[in-house]
Structure 1
């Protein structure tokens, strides 16, 4: 194990995913509600792991062979984020209930939750930019030791998503108030729409 390269991958990976975004907002929301937290965190971390491996091993060849990927991912992802943001805004405007802190109370079905999680993850080109493009590019600095860099970045994803999902439980007393939950839903809607606009206009 090349510890310095592993730590480099860990630190770079964490720095790229720590900023609030569509995926992180979704994980936070599930953590606050106590709905399918382990499954959602695992799906996000495994998705990141797959994309990191893809970036470290073969991003350049994929981009050259499939130039249509960028516009398809941008507009498909934007459409989904606009729809999901609309759902959050409707919840912010109409909801009168507080967060139910009991795990499983009124929970959405696991399959529905995981499909939404996968869509937010795999239809967001920013995820590809961070994991596939940036990490793939940075890994070339560690010729012959890319596996250690990728392992560090993957470890960072697992640590971050599980810390976010389960750490959200400490905020539940705040979101036991209906107003706080409505504010969060509104913030999530704004985040989703802001990312969608960036995707559409290529910002």
Structure 2
């Protein structure tokens, strides 16, 4: 049982660690030290729900409706383009972004987290389809595997947020923020292109 849970944790980490819109946003909020707890909780809860849905067999339903996947793909790509362009615009501002910038409201930060999570088709591919399929390969221990994957997600988002928060001081210079926003902007645009061309 412990081996199955560990397999779930490691598989979950392997799928979630890659840079993406959600991870970049969590890192950004950690560096800003702004509404970090709600962001992390939303990410963990969303991942847990999608992993459990996949384990329950919802992946089969999703694959049976390719039109739905296509709509989510285009919505996700459009959102990523918009988010990427905003990040690039921030990167070109002469003063860059600093910790002293006006904070965003908690509601807008939570909505952005939800959008970056649920408008990204890769979230469904990784959690509902892939993790769900792997979990079901464990038969009666599939829920143990799924629980391990949820633990992996929890460890990742907590570690990413706290690590970014700890680095907020050294990385608080405008030049660093501009470079980070530039990287995030390019990454978001690249992800959008990848979504519609895959």
Name the CA distance, whole Å, in 1 between partners of 2:34 and 2:94. 18
Name the CA distance, whole Å, in 1 between partners of 2:126 and 2:32. 28
Give the superposition deviation at 1:154: 0.4
Give the superposition deviation at 1:98: 5.2
Structure 1 unaligned segments of length 5 or more: list them: none
2:34 paired residue number: 35
Kindly tell me: are residues 188 and 49 of structure 1, through their superposed partners in 2, closer, same or farther at Cα, counting changes over 3 Å?
same
Name the CA distance, whole Å, in 1 between partners of 2:27 and 2:11. 22
2:182 paired residue number: 186
Alignment of 1:168-187 (within 5 A): 168-187=164-183
Number of equivalenced pairs: 198
Give CA-to-partner distance per residue, 1:104-160, whole Å, 9 cap, x none.
Answer: x62100110111110000000111111111101111221011110010000111111
Kindly tell me: are residues 129 and 29 of structure 1, through their superposed partners in 2, closer, same or farther at Cα, counting changes over 3 Å?
same
Give CA-to-partner distance per residue, 1:30-49, whole Å, 9 cap, x none.
Answer: 00000100100000010000
1:99 paired residue number: 98
1:72 paired residue number: 71
Structure 2 unaligned segments of length 5 or more: list them: none
- Secondary structure of the 2:108 match is helix
1:127 paired residue number: 123
